[in-house]
Structure 1
């Protein structure tokens, strides 16, 4: 079974100790909280899911009673709920094993301009005597957009194969979940003409410099000029590689330890992790067609399915990289307002597919599926997300003294193209040789307030500040030496801190973080 590893791994990825059976052990108290103190709605919203989070999975079935109070809002006229709450109480059912519960707020009208309209929902008791309410015992649903004050978020990345990317917006507390294999390239919608690769799928690309005839290139083609590259030998030592044909390039194009590159010469077949416009594997797309060359694109690796796995994935382990998805040859043109994508199978010499995609400035990128020949919905609009829990992230770069194709799990990025800034607050540092601990003069996460924000520390030109450094994959724990501060495009400030990267059963690919508006 293939494992995602953090470079030069001497062993395959960790196995975290499996969770013990609860029988015969003391359980932590079962407390219930609303996942957020505030929920905003837009004029277009007709429903909102209101979530109640539990301190642990329910060991028995039961019911949570929720009451409500409206401000200029009446039940049946301005709103209803599912389950029905016409009696004044909403009975929210909980099944044994549930990690949370929810009910639906149905909005029947909008607020009149200049007026205030809202509904406050409060926990009003339980039918299980040992259940109790937590600190967030109520939530206010506003009929106008308001910035969320915070909450605890369990992401929908999907488990040990990490099938999903999750985009999260702090101010609206909104998760957008997409399969990470539905696109290969992203077309930039700004003033420059740029193409990004889907790093969550390990997509890579190489330019056939000087070649503009898509159909002239096949696996048997000679390169216009040989490429002087670097690869790793079987002992993981770098050695020079000269490639003269397309077939030789293909050997070192897919992301992996033996991927070719030459960072000293600025040659990388992947985008750089920082995510800046001038750090892409594709050169800037020119409005002069003769300057846009053919690329060979490696389509990355399949997401393993349950049927394809050789055995069940052990608790604490992951399996994110299935079979290679093959190669296509691609040429991209632009007139400044539209992109034209030409592509074909590598062996095709008679015809190619051509698709024109207009720029849409509401989004950072327009995602395109080369395998299905169409644009797909991936990112939310550029000001409606702050962090991307991509789960998997692959690029050509350095880990320690070795440079190779790397694939990371549990990876998190922030929306630098959309104006989100972020920085890390480091509480302490441990010397790797002496184990000496150096503590820094910074507040704890709980004590950090708006007065502690350092405007000069926000990073807007490196989306990978969080990366995978927030957890210790081999130790199976979330690191307690750091937390993060974020400033969104609307000027809202938040602090957030990761609290889990496995489920209660020890399955990877289940991330949790807490956040609070400053």
Structure 2
């Protein structure tokens, strides 16, 4: 009996050892690639991060050797790097668990007019024998703007709470992360006087028809005309109607969620449209005649949670941030924002924001009372990976306030066009139908269908690139984009979660055609 137990213990230990060995064998190869094969710098740029991306988290520490060669660029005179590379080689340290590394390039001198300066950084080797070079072995850094050729982008949305919006420009390969709770409204800088809401924070707004005195409005204020609105019964989840007579009753159905009020047929919608067109804003066009601009009640949306979600899950909507009353005026060249807490009857704040022709929208924080730098210049971003996106509309036959995660929109206001290429379709029985289109790797500029580019609906990517319920990245689609300068790109999402399974860590690859 003892011999049998002993043999079982030996066998159990052998199985454990075998499992451990198999786990090691199951690791994919550790490869290192540059995040982009071209990096450009504008005149005002002094530093740039050159990223090295890994195929998986490092399981052992080591060093990557990166060499460089320059055209009209000398180390210490025209540029420096961190880590230091004055000898012509940069030793980049890698720690266990790292998913990538960076080299900080610092520009000391711009090129003289009529000349160029550039550097080519190349992966030279490793001190760990089984590390290898990936698909992008070199990266060219230009001292002046050039169009990027390709890249692998790890979006800096910040993890499972998705605290950041990220703007990305294909021609420079630059992503700009911005905390999504830094603003509530944005003012359009074009010919029309329009106001957009921050859909990433679930901001909504309701016009108080015929009411222009901001200090006269409180929760007890009666609406000039009662509203008959659609809603969902919270007990049965069936469509119903509600009659709204006062501000207090309106507040019950203003925050974005399944129980938000509205009436699409009558044009009563308290969010901007998902398409992002100028005519689809919750705020009516701001009139240059002051008396024609009514008060709006603005729901400030939901706070960003601070506790991370479990792996594979998200936690993006925290406590409601309250309400404010807002009135916006315009002379055609600037906006004047009047705003106050809902219960304020003595004083209100007022600030004038001039239109800025270099930007499509100028963001404003009602909670901080100041303009905020959010969007890059109008021709310096192509897609916005907002992470969180919300609107009132259809989900199948359901009409309600809807919130999506892992969401991306393209810059339709800035003249960017985009369409989806679907490579196959799988029906409910698992039968796959392949379409007569090139694969992502085989797609070339000759395959572009110009007529398919969409310029009037920003939500073509949306959240359809992943399956949230299945927890998987969809491999049946990629996207073709044309920027405002006429450059064509193809892009495809390559990761949905981090190597640890955390949401809010998407990755995509792109290539100029």
Per the normalisation by structure 1, the TM-score is 0.93
Aligned to 2:176: 176
Query: Would you tell me which structure has more helix in proportion to its own residues?
Result: 2
1:102-141 to structure 2, matched below 5 A, reads 102-141=102-141
> 422, 427, 439: which one pairs with 2:423?
427
After TM superposition, the structure 1 stretch with the greater mean CA deviation from structure 2, 152-161 or 434-443, is 434-443
Aligned to 2:242: 241
Aligned to 1:263: 264
Aligned equivalents of 1:327, 1:117: Cα separation in 2 = 53
Aligned to 1:412: 408
Aligned to 1:320: 316
Aligned equivalents of 2:273, 2:354: Cα separation in 1 = 25
Aligned to 1:13: none
State the Cα distance separating 1:149 from its structure 2 match: 0.6
Unpaired stretches in structure 1, ≥5 consecutive residues = 1-19, 307-311
Aligned to 2:460: 465
Which structure has the larger Rg? 2
Aligned equivalents of 2:253, 2:21: Cα separation in 1 = 46
Q: Secondary structure at the match of 2:496?
A: strand
Aligned to 1:33: 33
> 444, 449, 454: which one pairs with 1:454?
449
Aligned to 1:92: 92
After TM superposition, the structure 1 stretch with the greater mean CA deviation from structure 2, 38-47 or 383-392, is 38-47
Aligned to 1:101: 101
1:221-280, Cα deviation, whole Å (9 max, x unpaired): 110001111000122211121111111111100001100000011110000100000000
Q: Secondary structure at the match of 1:508?
A: coil
After TM superposition, the structure 1 stretch with the greater mean CA deviation from structure 2, 78-87 or 483-492, is 78-87
State the Cα distance separating 1:106 from its structure 2 match: 1.9
Aligned equivalents of 1:313, 1:401: Cα separation in 2 = 30
Aligned to 2:52: 52
Q: Secondary structure at the match of 2:119?
A: strand
Aligned to 2:286: 285
Aligned equivalents of 2:198, 2:21: Cα separation in 1 = 40
Q: Which has the higher contact order (CA 8 A, sep 6+)?
A: 1
State the Cα distance separating 1:109 from its structure 2 match: 1.6
Q: Does 1:510 align with 2:471?
A: no
Q: Does 1:392 align with 2:388?
A: yes
Aligned equivalents of 2:45, 2:36: Cα separation in 1 = 18
1:202-213 to structure 2, matched below 5 A, reads 202-213=202-213
Over aligned residue pairs, what C-alpha RMSD do you find?
A: 1.4
1:145-160 to structure 2, matched below 5 A, reads 145-160=145-160
State the Cα distance separating 1:112 from its structure 2 match: 2.3
Q: Secondary structure at the match of 2:187?
A: strand
> 376, 380, 399: which one pairs with 1:380?
376
Aligned equivalents of 1:89, 1:430: Cα separation in 2 = 50
After TM superposition, the structure 1 stretch with the greater mean CA deviation from structure 2, 180-189 or 436-445, is 436-445
1:146-167, Cα deviation, whole Å (9 max, x unpaired): 1111111101101111111101
1:72-100, Cα deviation, whole Å (9 max, x unpaired): 22222222222221112111111111111
The aligned length equals 493
Aligned equivalents of 1:437, 1:59: Cα separation in 2 = 38
Aligned to 1:367: 363
Aligned equivalents of 1:415, 1:21: Cα separation in 2 = 49
Aligned equivalents of 1:438, 1:70: Cα separation in 2 = 50
Q: Does 1:230 align with 2:226?
A: no
Q: Secondary structure at the match of 1:502?
A: coil
Aligned to 2:469: 474
Q: Secondary structure at the match of 2:237?
A: coil
Aligned equivalents of 1:388, 1:244: Cα separation in 2 = 38
Per the normalisation by structure 2, the TM-score is 0.94
1:349-407, Cα deviation, whole Å (9 max, x unpaired): 11111111111011111000000000011100010000000000111011011100101
State the Cα distance separating 1:324 from its structure 2 match: 0.4
